[in-house]
Structure 1
Amino acid sequence: MKNDPKYLKLLSNRLPNAAQVGKEIILLEALLSLPKSPELFISDIHGEHETFQHMLRNGSGIIRQKIAELFGGKLGDKDLRRLAALVYYPHEKLQIIKKESPDLEGFYMDTIQKLVSIAYEFTSIYTKRKIDRLLSSEYGLIISELLQGEALGERKREYKEKLLKTVIEIGECDELIIALAEFIQRIAISKIHVIGDIYDRGPGAEAVMDSLIDYHAVDIQWGNHDIVWMGAASGSLACMANVIRLSLRYANTDTLEKGYGINLIPLASFALEHYKEDKSLIFNPKVNPEDLLNESEHWLNRIMHKAISIIQFKLEEQLIERRPDFGLSHRKMLSNINFTTGEIQIEENAYTLKDTYFPTIDPKHPVKLSKEEEDLVVKLSESFQQSSKLKKHVQFLFEKGSMYHISNDCLLFHGSIPIDEHGDLAHVDMLGKKLKGKQYLDFLDKIAREAFSGVEQTPENNLAVDMMWYLWAGPQSPLFGKDKMTTFERYFINDTSIHKEVKGFYYHYRDDPATIAKILADFDLDPETSLIINGHVPVVVRKGENPIKAGGKLIVIDGGFAKAYQEQTGIAGYTLIFDDQGKQIIAHLPFESTDKAIEDEVDILSSETLYSYSHKPLKVADIRDGDKIKDMIEDLKELLHCYRSGLLTERFQPQNS
């Protein structure tokens, strides 16, 4: 037999007799003939939860397209926009429309019919099993009957009309409309691939995570901004300090305080005690001052920002000292300050510091935490460790996430692959191993999981926890991909030439088809038919940069989803849709607000570029997911043979007497 008997016996636990196996084979064979369902690829969300949730509600524009296809010749632009807004925000929009409708029964009948037509168009490419899983428990049966009525047309018209009239009579129309709209949202996209960086900068990363957890099919490729939060939740003090510093830098402490219940009052008290006389403005947040509530909050944010930054530099330097294998001794900053002259020595040059007010630094022991800092770090760490919601979200990142993912001949990773100066995969010396490409990313993936799930306070776990910080800021980290993170220099040194963070050779060669072919081959993908989808470094559309690189073998979909990047990039992010027509790159303009979307029916404006397409619509059998189904069918045929030949005994449920 091709298959291991032990495997077939385990498979028999799910399908205990030949009849059930035969049914499963029939359904899977039929599934191969269906059109490929739409997948959404999105990157660098950076806490922009309103925009992200609108993107889920409108299926990255797919729902709007479908509405235009179905009703474009029958409805004007205003009615099309109103119908779309109702699908996106049914609870809120329904109340507005009802107040403006003179004929409420007519509105209900017409609206439900249109929603059923939209839903039917999306369900036509799915199996009944998939549709049933996505239907709500309360109205699933009614929606299922309406969809069947849509399929049968005139043969079931009277039944469908009677069903709708009864729904109106008993006052259930609002609930049915909401259920239909939410079903359309779920069915529009079969799977979401998040190419990293859910966290930092924007105000609602925890809300983004809640939406992803609630979605029916998600995978995540960790970004550097995700890994620093994962490190903080795993017990890395250096990662924790970075998380708090970034939150203050972007005046975004709501995610910490309201989202995760992290208590920052001890940090505020510490800053008031030790930094209240600080006059420097270099720790002002990277937001417009008017975005803060008042002048006092602006001042408090600034001194808290400086206090945690100094703690971060101390913790990072301690980590560098205890991990000489990381090769970062040249990145010690505090140890190289001359506190008498106010200068710092970096390599061959001395630089004058912009700020020399260091009330918590002992010049004789600059990286040692003061007693008050030690107590503060303990309190902050306990707050992180005790946050059940943070633990839940990080657990989800580990369950659904990884360093990379392969989906239908697409290699997904957030940042980069280490490449040498010749455009070949570089061997990286890390923790006594010399690895490259896929092997290196697999090794780092395992290290990250050890940090979160390993036995605490063992040497292996302590090393893995420190590695989480390296994955955030280390030069050989594929998630970071630069020679250094110049946080200290950008705060304290005027000379901007020393602020530069040099990208790795990957970014020099990512437009070279030969290098991309080597990467794809290393991940066991065919360079002729596969491609890479990346995030991490925004595509600067304003300067004419193209997201399609290496002759179409690499696509960068970070176009500035975070508002902090949009002035630089000129757009508000890319998404990529891969459906039965091929791959479609969508460039989005900034999202105004949820209120605007509901009240004024303002959607995210976007433009589509059909990047690649098939000469005929793609079916499930044509993609890599189809290959997995074909393999499963072969396994099931082996199991069926075992039942029919008596190698395995069939089991049947006892019938009720």
Structure 2
Amino acid sequence: MIFYDENNLDIIEKDLRYLQLLSREYPTISSASTEIINLQSILNLPKATEHFISDIHGEYESFTHMLRNASGVIKRKIDDVFGNSLREEQKASLATLVYYPERKIELIKEKEHNLEEWYRITLYQLIELCKNVSSKYTRSKVRKALPSDFSYIIEELLHDQDDKVDKQAYYNGIIKTIIDINRAPEFIIAISNVIQRLVVDRLHIIGDIYDRGPGAEIIMDALMKHHSVDIQWGNHDMLWMGAAAGCEACIANVLRISLRYANLHTIEDGYGINLLPLATFALEFYSDDPCKNFIPKTLNKDISKNELNLLAKMHKSIAIMQFKLEAEIIKRHPEFKMDDRLLLDKIDTEKWEIDIYGHNYKLNDSKFPTIDWNDPYKLTDREQELIEKLTSSFVNSEKLQRHIKFLYGKGSIYLVYNSNLLYHGCIPLNKDGSFREVKIGKISYSGRELLDRYDRLARDAFFFKSNTNNKKYGMDMMWYMWCGEDSPVFGKVRMTTFERYFIDDKLAHYEKKNYYYQYRDDENVCKNILAEFNLPPESSHIINGHIPVKTKEGESPIKANGKLLVIDGGFCKAYQPETGIAGYTLIYNSYGLLLTSHEPFGAIKNAIEEDKDILSSTVILEHVTKRKRVEDTDIGKELKKQIADLEKLLIAYRKGLIKEDSNQIE
């Protein structure tokens, strides 16, 4: 605690106006003293558990299960509480019940012969488990997490005193009454949800919620219901943010990627965006084009041949429009230095070849019905009409706008939290490992200042009124952050979209990464990055996503002697053949850091019916002998400031600088 010298009143008098405001909340010496004692006791509690997940890419079933099982934390808690007193299959069944209480209870009702006995045993098990997970919190915090219907009963049961026989009979009576009045299912659901709520205090999403998988909007709904979450924007998130703001080039990219993976569920069903105008356009202009290079990656989806053909035509239609819309931005901003991405006018339409970066490549396609080769970047009247309709659908989708506002409200390009630096992509670096200077407008930025500037521009794109210069520039910058060389969420020299569609030679597909990816295994460079963000280099970490770790090739997610952790391991099914696993997650509790790798997840239905959890392997990255306390965290720093202010208020009361509220004095 910070005890101020009562004879030195300079600090007190300087803050007197603020202390007078504080006295409204703590109007007496007694109330201020009580709060100091309360806050000081909180500082001594164990640090709460944080859960880190990255690169979800719409895989809502895997994400839902990972969220519910807290990357194995609940399973470990069950092991801690019950040890060898339960068989492994009993522990697995209990864990599934905590994850999916409603659906598991329905199955139990069908199979269990003595349901009352099952209720009794299960209620006692859940209460013991809940006692364990609530032990690191104050009663006040636990009380706030309790459902109103059962808050009093749960609170009573959590503070059971086993050594008192009379009390034990009282608690047994509560359990019996819950079962007798047929409230056991509801109570089990309620306490399971409390366990899920308390087992992880803070959820960190290190970017890329959107694209590829089928349920990004389901994930967003779940995040909006979460009690404590922050999001570091990924490049795919920023693309959707730009689309929701009305950036036409971002909209074209969003649609192209959705069509590339035959994933229109989020677009049409999730956000109600009407793709009939695009389908009609595609059938009219590409009716005799097989669009073979645009057949979607179906990932074993059951899609008919006719539907695939339609999706391919829509896919090619929006890709060509994308190249035209991107050209408008490139021409508006020569400072982007992206003229090398203007490729349509480089096509030799007699030989159907293109010369780029000193190489001549044969094109695999010569059907471009919507391109005027005298002015290849000009949208046709029909394309202009189509993009206006699509833009209207994006900016007027109520659910999309609500989700994107949440991304802005809970998100940022980076976050500094509890001695960890969280960001999705990279910190742009030079060849020598120094921070790369990037000129935006008339000012050059690097390191932390560069990311701060990009963050501000992303907000300008969405929150400024339409048709203002700030909004237009912000929207162009959103597109640049999706695919520009100096973007911290992209991290590559160029995005070779055109080449991947129209050139078979894979040499043309190569996307050179920023020098950051050469240096992220260099401990000194990582320490410089941490210092740039005002973190102590020796005791801090960088937590990173974006580039999948190729585990099956022997790549480790642990870089720079443990200074940097990459937790993108292939959550997205499209990446799993490349990575060999189904993602990494990270747990940071009072004992240290645990990195968990996960095998591919089947389905929630199998998890419930067969008690099948995600197969995971956990590596302890750091283990401390002395548990971290709340006082060691960012919240602890804030609580210490509050304690210091309250101590000053006590002195002000005692010196008569502020009068106690006589009506509040007992």
Counterpart CA distance in 1 for 2:284 and 2:458 is 37
Structure 1 contact 72–80 (Cα < 8 Å) conserved: no
Tell me the residue number matched to 1:402: 412
Tell me the residue number matched to 2:284: 273
Paired residue secondary structure (1:469): helix
Counterpart CA distance in 2 for 1:601 and 1:483 is 46
Tell me the residue number matched to 2:4: none
Match of 1:66 among 35, 56, 77: 77
Q: Structure 1 267/652 Cα, relative in aligned 2: closer, same or farther at 3 Å? A: farther
Tell me the residue number matched to 1:339: 349
Counterpart CA distance in 2 for 1:194 and 1:579 is 17
Give, as a single letter, the amino acid of the residue that structure 1 aligns with 2:169.
E
Counterpart CA distance in 2 for 1:154 and 1:583 is 41
Counterpart CA distance in 2 for 1:153 and 1:448 is 60
Instruction: Give the drift of 1:19.
Output: 3.7
Counterpart CA distance in 1 for 2:24 and 2:65 is 42
Counterpart CA distance in 1 for 2:391 and 2:24 is 45
Tell me the residue number matched to 1:204: 215
Counterpart CA distance in 2 for 1:293 and 1:150 is 60
Which has the higher mean CA deviation after the structures are superposed, 335-344 or 435-444?
335-344
Counterpart CA distance in 1 for 2:239 and 2:481 is 8
Counterpart CA distance in 1 for 2:74 and 2:327 is 51
Pairwise mapping of residues 108-119 of structure 1 onto structure 2 (< 5 A)? 108-119=119-130
TM-score by length of 1: 0.97
Tell me the residue number matched to 1:618: 628
Match of 1:354 among 359, 364, 370: 364
Pairwise mapping of residues 554-593 of structure 1 onto structure 2 (< 5 A)? 554-593=564-603
1:320 aligns to 2:330 (yes or no): yes
Which has the higher mean CA deviation after the structures are superposed, 138-147 or 470-479?
138-147
1:297 aligns to 2:307 (yes or no): yes
Match of 2:148 among 122, 131, 137: 137
Structure 1 contact 425–518 (Cα < 8 Å) conserved: no
1:423 aligns to 2:433 (yes or no): yes
1:173 aligns to 2:180 (yes or no): no
Q: Structure 1 362/63 Cα, relative in aligned 2: closer, same or farther at 3 Å? A: same
Tell me the residue number matched to 1:506: 516
Instruction: Give the drift of 1:72.
Output: 3.2
Instruction: Give the drift of 1:56.
Output: 1.2
1:287 aligns to 2:301 (yes or no): no
Which has the higher mean CA deviation after the structures are superposed, 303-312 or 625-634?
625-634
Structure 2 contact 207–231 (Cα < 8 Å) conserved: yes
Counterpart CA distance in 1 for 2:655 and 2:407 is 45
1:6-26 CA deviation, whole Å, 9 max, x = no partner? 544554454454443333221
Instruction: Give the drift of 1:599.
Output: 0.5
Counterpart CA distance in 1 for 2:28 and 2:214 is 53
Paired residue secondary structure (2:85): coil
Counterpart CA distance in 2 for 1:593 and 1:75 is 26
Tell me the residue number matched to 1:378: 388
Structure 2 contact 568–584 (Cα < 8 Å) conserved: yes
Pairwise mapping of residues 488-499 of structure 1 onto structure 2 (< 5 A)? 488-499=498-509
1:17-59 CA deviation, whole Å, 9 max, x = no partner? 4443333221110011111111001110111111111111111
Q: Structure 1 562/485 Cα, relative in aligned 2: closer, same or farther at 3 Å? A: same
Percent of matched pairs sharing the same residue: 47
Instruction: Give the drift of 1:4.
Output: 4.2
Give, as a single letter, the amino acid of the residue that structure 2 aligns with 1:625.
I
Match of 2:545 among 535, 544, 550: 535
Instruction: Give the drift of 1:175.
Output: 0.3
Structure 2 contact 133–195 (Cα < 8 Å) conserved: yes
Q: Structure 1 464/73 Cα, relative in aligned 2: closer, same or farther at 3 Å? A: same
Tell me the residue number matched to 1:479: 489
Instruction: Give the drift of 1:509.
Output: 0.5
Q: Structure 1 650/285 Cα, relative in aligned 2: closer, same or farther at 3 Å? A: farther
| Structure 1 gaps, min length 5 | none
1:260 aligns to 2:271 (yes or no): yes
Counterpart CA distance in 2 for 1:391 and 1:346 is 39
Structure 1 contact 221–413 (Cα < 8 Å) conserved: yes
Which has the higher mean CA deviation after the structures are superposed, 395-404 or 643-652?
643-652
Instruction: Give the drift of 1:112.
Output: 0.4
Q: Structure 1 527/178 Cα, relative in aligned 2: closer, same or farther at 3 Å? A: same
Counterpart CA distance in 2 for 1:77 and 1:506 is 45
Q: Structure 1 620/52 Cα, relative in aligned 2: closer, same or farther at 3 Å? A: same
Instruction: Give the drift of 1:69.
Output: 2.2
Instruction: Give the drift of 1:186.
Output: 0.9
Which has the higher mean CA deviation after the structures are superposed, 454-463 or 477-486?
454-463
1:239-258 CA deviation, whole Å, 9 max, x = no partner? 11111111111111100111
Match of 1:122 among 133, 150, 166: 133
1:86 aligns to 2:132 (yes or no): no
Q: Structure 1 10/415 Cα, relative in aligned 2: closer, same or farther at 3 Å? A: farther
1:506-542 CA deviation, whole Å, 9 max, x = no partner? 0000011111111111111111111101000111110
Match of 1:223 among 230, 234, 248: 234
Paired residue secondary structure (1:282): helix
Counterpart CA distance in 1 for 2:544 and 2:163 is 44
Task: Please give the root-mean-square deviation of Cα atoms over the aligned residues, in Å.
Answer: 1.7
Counterpart CA distance in 2 for 1:650 and 1:397 is 44
Structure 2 contact 585–597 (Cα < 8 Å) conserved: yes
Paired residue secondary structure (2:622): strand
Tell me the residue number matched to 2:206: 195
Counterpart CA distance in 1 for 2:211 and 2:414 is 21
Q: Structure 1 164/652 Cα, relative in aligned 2: closer, same or farther at 3 Å? A: farther
Instruction: Give the drift of 1:622.
Output: 2.6
Q: Structure 1 274/30 Cα, relative in aligned 2: closer, same or farther at 3 Å? A: same
Paired residue secondary structure (1:291): coil
Which has the higher mean CA deviation after the structures are superposed, 109-118 or 329-338?
329-338
Instruction: Give the drift of 1:88.
Output: 0.8
Paired residue secondary structure (2:204): strand
Counterpart CA distance in 1 for 2:205 and 2:283 is 40
Structure 1 contact 120–150 (Cα < 8 Å) conserved: no
Counterpart CA distance in 1 for 2:29 and 2:274 is 58
Instruction: Give the drift of 1:351.
Output: 2.0
Paired residue secondary structure (2:547): coil
Match of 1:57 among 58, 65, 68: 68
Match of 2:424 among 410, 414, 421: 414
Tell me the residue number matched to 1:392: 402
Q: Structure 1 143/353 Cα, relative in aligned 2: closer, same or farther at 3 Å? A: same
Counterpart CA distance in 2 for 1:479 and 1:236 is 18
Instruction: Give the drift of 1:442.
Output: 0.7
Give, as a single letter, the amino acid of the residue that structure 2 aligns with 1:588.
H
Q: Structure 1 639/311 Cα, relative in aligned 2: closer, same or farther at 3 Å? A: farther
Give, as a single letter, the amino acid of the residue that structure 2 aligns with 1:532.
I
Counterpart CA distance in 1 for 2:334 and 2:659 is 60
Instruction: Give the drift of 1:652.
Output: 7.9
Structure 1 contact 261–387 (Cα < 8 Å) conserved: yes
1:39 aligns to 2:74 (yes or no): no
Paired residue secondary structure (1:438): helix
Structure 2 contact 51–585 (Cα < 8 Å) conserved: yes
| Structure 2 gaps, min length 5 | 1-10
Q: Structure 1 169/196 Cα, relative in aligned 2: closer, same or farther at 3 Å? A: same
Q: Structure 1 102/197 Cα, relative in aligned 2: closer, same or farther at 3 Å? A: same
Paired residue secondary structure (1:563): coil
Paired residue secondary structure (1:611): strand
Structure 2 contact 420–540 (Cα < 8 Å) conserved: yes
Counterpart CA distance in 1 for 2:35 and 2:368 is 69
Aligned residues: 654
